[in-house]
Structure 1
């Protein structure tokens, strides 16, 4: 009996490690007509010189609602018109320790996301050129709801 329990624990541990490593290497699919996402430090510079705001899509690899927005919302031509005309688009993995440059400092993506109140994915943020949150909404938004979010 003890042997079966030990084997079960070892197998579960192995499967858990395998699944964690597999999911951490998953990359988002390339979607046609998706916005041209740029790093946040570049977005701040462009926004300052163009009087545009910064739109940040805080996502997580493996998030089904994030992928749904990638497929259904961001490529929509009406959404792209509003984004391209008024915003500098940025994507940040809110669950990654990958460093980003923000306000002249290097911080992990996750720390940036949490500092903006993004604990649930997807989270959509609109920031000013200094990186202050103007508007935030969590969760999936369809095309119409997302356009309204951008217009308000």
Structure 2
């Protein structure tokens, strides 16, 4: 009985990664990469603003951003960027350097780029921003979107 349990755990550990093999994922790019990509091949941009503590953000990452039909649409038609709104990371984008006030991540201390992208709107998580090929804001949703709502948002 003891060995049966060990063998079954070993088999699960070996074969679990194969369940995810071949599943396409969203090609998230950084803001630095986005600058170059937009210069070479203009495309619409989808920005996902989130935090570590936001349960709806994590739920979207786990359940919605893994749906194959949405992954295909996003990868084919958009540059996707994920931005932690409370990041302490310095970001270079659009010929500017965006520096947070502190070099330590703190809840409630929002990154200046997240604030600029939301353009005065209240910081609500998750926030999805859709930009056109010239990087002008087309649409914004500041709530959890199920797969149908996200599909409608992308059309």
- TM-score computed with the length of structure 2 as normaliser: 0.70
Q: Gaps (5+ residues) in structure 1? A: 1-31
Distance, in Å, in 2 between the alignment partners of 1:102 and 1:147 is 27
- Residues 65-96 of structure 1, C-alpha deviation per residue, up to 9 Å, x if partnerless? 00000011111011011101110111111122
- Residues 36-68 of structure 1, C-alpha deviation per residue, up to 9 Å, x if partnerless? 211112113213322311111111011100000
Which structure features the higher share of helix residues? 1
| Equivalent pair of 2:42/2:134 in contact (CA under 8 Å) | no
Q: Secondary structure at the match of 1:69?
A: helix
- Residues 80-129 of structure 1, C-alpha deviation per residue, up to 9 Å, x if partnerless? 11101110111111122321111021103711111122611110011245
Deviation at 1:134, TM superposition (A): 1.9
Aligned length: 120
Q: Gaps (5+ residues) in structure 2? A: 1-22, 101-110
Distance, in Å, in 2 between the alignment partners of 1:135 and 1:108 is 26
Q: Secondary structure at the match of 2:32?
A: helix
- TM-score computed with the length of structure 1 as normaliser: 0.71
Q: Secondary structure at the match of 2:112?
A: helix
| Equivalent pair of 1:120/1:138 in contact (CA under 8 Å) | yes
| Equivalent pair of 2:50/2:125 in contact (CA under 8 Å) | yes
Distance, in Å, in 1 between the alignment partners of 2:153 and 2:129 is 10
| Equivalent pair of 1:53/1:87 in contact (CA under 8 Å) | yes
